[in-house]
Amino acid sequence: MELDGDHMHFTRRSEVTTISLLSLARAPTFREGVLGAVLTISSDEHGDVTLKGAANLDARQFSKEVKEAWVRSSLAALERETVWLDSILAGVQALAAPSSYPAACQVAPLLEKARALDVKLLSKLRAEAVGPDAMARVAPAREFVSDPRTARAAGISAFVTAELERRKHFFDTVESRELTPEQRLSVVVDEDATLVLAGAGSGKTSVIAAKAIYLVRAGIRQPEEILLLAFGKKAARQMSERVEARSGEPIVARTFHAIANDIIGIVEGTKPPLAAHADDELAYFNVIRQILNDLVHRLPNVSTAAIQWFAHFMVEPKTEWNFKTKHDFYTHMEAQDLRTLQGGKVKSYEELQIANWLYENGIEYEYEPPYEHKVPETGRRDYQPDFRLRESGIYIEHFGVRREKTADGGEQLVTAPFVDRDEYLASMEWKRRVHAEHGTILIETYSGERQDGRLLTGLAEKLAPHVTLKPRPADTIYDRIVEMKQVDDFSTLLGIFLRKFKEGGYSLQDCRDTSKKKGLGNRASAFLDVFAAVFEEYQRQLDDRIDFEDMVLRAARYVETGRYTSPFRHILVDEFQDISPGRARLLKALKNQHPDVRIFAVGDDWQAIYRFAGSDLHLMRHFGREFGGRFDGEADIHRTVDLGRTFRSVDQIAFAARTFVLRNPAQIRKQVVPAGTATEPAIKIVTVPKHDSEAKLSEVLNGLSATVAPGAEAATALLLGRYSFIKPDMSALKARFPRLEISFDTIHASKGSEADHVIVLNANSGRFGFPSEIVDDSLLSMVSPEEEAFPNAEERRVMYVAMTRARHTLTILASNARPSSFVTELREDPAYGIVSEPGGKQEDCVCGECGGRLLGVAGRNGHIRYRCEHDQHCGNSLPACPACQTALPHRTDGTSEVRCECGACFPACPECKDGWLVERNGSHGNFLSCARFPACFGKPKAPRGTQFSTPRTRRRNRF
């Protein structure tokens, strides 16, 4: 062992090890022995090093000198780091009672500094070397290093408590109404990334304005260091005016596009010209439509690709085989526009392919025409083959069967999961016999052929001996597509896809790879063939101009590469739920330029309804991951504040809307404190008979008008529609109800509005109902990083927006025959506490043919008949009970009878699930047959003596 200044050297078998005296764990230990001393040096790096056999006197002296050197070295090291230690201790002390919010970005440098000193010195100090006073001095720094998260949390709590009290007058007066406790907290919290969840009517504008003013008044930032962002020019202007009016501070709110354009101007010295359609949605989609039209007429390859799309890939290519029940299949088919190039509608995707191939090749046809020969009564409906070719008289039947290997190596025909195989195969044989008996030519196609990719080629081969193909010119077909207005929806899809494609920085190969991964198949390939040409031409036409996507991304690149130096230290963002990937990229770039930049975002994921315009709700749901800071090895550091309280809706509306939107578990849970308590039912569902919507709306408005006292200020009534085309005659309504200030808006356009009374129109099922069945196309998943799995997720948020526009009452008008799934949910779930008009709710009856709903519909003669909701596909229809004329009789389990709630009882039809036997008059006297006749030819199998009763006082024979 050798002592050398502040180090010791150990030599063992010529191998030398050197340690610092600071690494000693304790003073050397010395023990005398008969054969010499035992001297042990303990260090943190090498453990115990022991020397045996030294002279006792020498070992004692050496041990003393090592201890003295250890003490000197430790005290000297502590003295050298006094300035460093004092600054850390001052920081730790300040954290106990901070003068500003201890955000992660502020405390992280202190922690880094403390840990570095701890590793270098503090962790090596021992009380035996430096004394208890020195150890007490360094203790706060060591405690902070060992548990920095608790220290920061305590500092945050201390600051928030003190600041809320210190700034009480500010919070009481900064807005016309005193800020709520939740609003005050959101202003004071100043984490690296702060997300304020601002529900409908919770005062988000007050919060973001107060935050901007607070930052300046508290001396945290200068006005020029604050970037206040809004999504639209109107919102930005209103925000600027509000801040200036409340504070006089020159804090100007800007749109994302405005700040992006300013960045480009600073870097490039001039701002590039903006495309004429950049800030005009209608003009933008018109540009896409015109590009598509020009390319189709100019380039044969684009013409071919476009026609292939419209003829065979426009709708989702799903068949019966993709569904487990008829109800699911029919529901999907009704959400698709299965309209052929000839103009009619068909019932399946495969029939659509056949019909459009016939049209493309100039073959005139009829769809589901009556068979030309009278078929004797067989218990079936009148025979209607799928197609009849007009010129040749040939019939085409498309059969939903596929070939499947059997266990013995053979093959058999199989049907879709919900189809009775034996019954279906029997119907195929019956159709073949009918054609054979009457000498008509039948061409057969099969689902299995489409599965094998040869449905249309096979059809061409089968028809070749009988017809001559006369392919229509591409221009003629496309003009027909334009005439049918199918180009508009496709142009919109192309336009939405193009925006997402540019904003996300995708390539065509990226899209093809995603398509393959997600199994989007030939439909995606057909779409990309058209899109590639449209995108290339769109970019060419831009020339030296830019659109908003270019603007935001170019600005983001300038910030990321340091060509633009940001002056902003606080970035405040309004309506954050509408953030898009491009805007998020610009925000991140601005935040990452300086270590102390804060993001303060105000939004409501419950009101995220602009996915079609490029917004990506996942950016808000993963706010910490996207924008959070880092501290103590933990990423995603952020703070969320829930405003909770609403200043708009009464309790019944506020709570029902919250319950409704939270049925989607992906929505962020928030508390809701309503604006007041309703003393009468605040939400009503009013059913509307067919052709009676105007009368029902007038009836509702008349009731609202009656609540306004004469001479009192007019109450506001907002009519909301999912689509603009359902707007009623507003001039007439305003003239008839002068006590009401009536307005109409689409639900999307109404965001931010409010009224005393809200009336939601046309909450019906169907393609253009609410929820809309024109869902986001699955092709958009090629340019969308994440998808929402919950059914009607965005439409549910649209309904939430509609509900929360109302202060006092909400009325929902829905078809009595086809109410939407939203109306059914609201009406039937007691959690919503919603009132239906007397007699408005009809009992749900399940269709025995397909599993859908049987809906009661009053005819013009007032008689009620129950029809399946899938009337185009299923067609099941039943009369109301002959006794009460209102309800629908139900089959009683375990018996052969059908009973009505009025007490009437009938024999159950032995052939079908829904029908019952009724007495009819025939040429041979009275007989019993199914109430569904002629759809069902069921007749009694029980002995004639079996008796069933109907209340005689109300019994009528209506058949």
Query: Is domain 167-274+548-642 annotated with CATH 3.40.50.300?
Result: yes
Q: How much is the average pLDDT of 717-746?
A: 94
Query: 651-836 belongs to which CATH class?
Result: alpha beta
For residue 239, what pLDDT is reported? 87
Q: How much is the average pLDDT of 91-113?
A: 96
Q: How much is the average pLDDT of 607-625?
A: 87
For residue 952, what pLDDT is reported? 31
What lies within 8 Å, CB to CB, of 241 at 6+ separation is none
| Residue 203 in marked binding region | yes
Q: How much is the average pLDDT of 346-374?
A: 93
| Residue 43 tokens, joined | 């260090």
Q: How much is the average pLDDT of 594-603?
A: 96
For residue 835, what pLDDT is reported? 67
Containing H/E element for 402?
strand 402-405
For residue 757, what pLDDT is reported? 96
Q: Which residue has the higher pLDDT, 864 or 92?
A: 92
Q: How confident is the model at residue 496 (pLDDT cuts 50, 70, 90)?
A: confident
Containing H/E element for 853?
strand 853-858
Look at residue 726 and tell me whether its pLDDT is greater than 80. yes
Average pLDDT, the chain: 89
Look at residue 950 and tell me whether its pLDDT is greater than 50. no
Look at residue 954 and tell me whether its pLDDT is greater than 50. no
Look at residue 247 and tell me whether its pLDDT is greater than 50. yes
Q: Which residue has the higher pLDDT, 16 or 845?
A: 16
Q: How confident is the model at residue 409 (pLDDT cuts 50, 70, 90)?
A: confident
Q: Which of 831-845, 898-912, 927-941 comes out lowest in average pLDDT?
A: 831-845
Q: How far apart are CA 675 and CA 807, in angstroms?
A: 8
Own/partner pairs for 275-281, CB < 8 Å, 24+ apart? Answer: 275/542, 275/545, 275/546, 275/547, 276/545, 277/547, 278/546, 278/547, 278/548, 278/551, 279/548
The 10s digit of each residue's pLDDT in 574-590 is 999 999 989 999 999 99
The 10s digit of each residue's pLDDT in 758-772 is 999 999 887 778 888
For residue 372, what pLDDT is reported? 92
**Hey, how many other C-beta atoms are within 10 angstroms of the C-beta on 432?**
13
| Residue 205 in marked binding region | yes
| Residue 584 in marked binding region | no
The 10s digit of each residue's pLDDT in 373-396 is 988 765 556 789 999 999 999 999
Q: How confident is the model at residue 774 (pLDDT cuts 50, 70, 90)?
A: low
The 10s digit of each residue's pLDDT in 694-714 is 889 999 999 999 999 888 899
Look at residue 840 and tell me whether its pLDDT is greater than 80. no
| 612 burial via Cβ count (<10 Å: 0-12, 13-18, 19+) | middle
Look at residue 923 and tell me whether its pLDDT is greater than 80. no
For residue 653, what pLDDT is reported? 94
| Residue 18 in marked binding region | no
Which of 400, 426, 428 lies closest to 414, judged by CA?
400
Pick the CATH number of 2-80 from 3.30.70, 2.40.128, 1.10.1760, 2.30.29: 2.30.29
Q: Which of 98-102, 264-268, 417-421, 951-955 comes out lowest in average pLDDT?
A: 951-955
Q: How far apart are CA 593 and CA 571, in angstroms?
A: 12
- Beta strand pairing call for 598-603 and 570-573: parallel
Look at residue 841 and tell me whether its pLDDT is greater than 80. no
What lies within 8 Å, CB to CB, of 504 at 6+ separation is 581, 582, 783, 785
| Residue 200 in marked binding region | yes
The 10s digit of each residue's pLDDT in 315-332 is 777 788 888 899 888 888
Residue 490 CA, distance from chain mean position: 22
For residue 877, what pLDDT is reported? 87
Q: How confident is the model at residue 270 (pLDDT cuts 50, 70, 90)?
A: very high
Look at residue 959 and tell me whether its pLDDT is greater than 50. no
| 50 burial via Cβ count (<10 Å: 0-12, 13-18, 19+) | exposed
Sorted by where each begins, the domain ranges of the chain are 2-80, 82-154, 167-274+548-642, 651-836, 845-954
- b/e code 905-925 from CB counts within 10 Å (16+ = b): bbbbbeebebbbbbeeeeeee
Residue % of the chain over a pLDDT of 90: 58
Look at residue 573 and tell me whether its pLDDT is greater than 50. yes
Q: How far apart are CA 468 and CA 807, in angstroms?
A: 67
Q: Which residue has the higher pLDDT, 233 or 263?
A: 263
- Same fold for the pair 167-274+548-642 and 651-836: yes
Q: Which residue has the higher pLDDT, 787 or 7?
A: 7
For residue 437, what pLDDT is reported? 93
Look at residue 836 and tell me whether its pLDDT is greater than 70. no
| Residue 400 in marked binding region | no
Q: How far apart are CA 445 and CA 467, in angstroms?
A: 16
Look at residue 424 and tell me whether its pLDDT is greater than 50. yes
Look at residue 958 and tell me whether its pLDDT is greater than 50. no
For residue 956, what pLDDT is reported? 27
Look at residue 264 and tell me whether its pLDDT is greater than 60. yes
Q: How confident is the model at residue 50 (pLDDT cuts 50, 70, 90)?
A: very high
| Residue 194 in marked binding region | no
Q: How much is the average pLDDT of 442-449?
A: 95
Q: How much is the average pLDDT of 236-252?
A: 84
SS3 581: helix
Cα→Cα distances 952→879, 946, 949, Å: 19, 18, 8
Q: How far apart are CA 911 and CA 404, in angstroms?
A: 30
Look at residue 946 and tell me whether its pLDDT is greater than 70. no
For residue 948, what pLDDT is reported? 45
| Residue 532 in marked binding region | no
| Residue 236 tokens, joined | 């930005």
Look at residue 817 and tell me whether its pLDDT is greater than 80. no
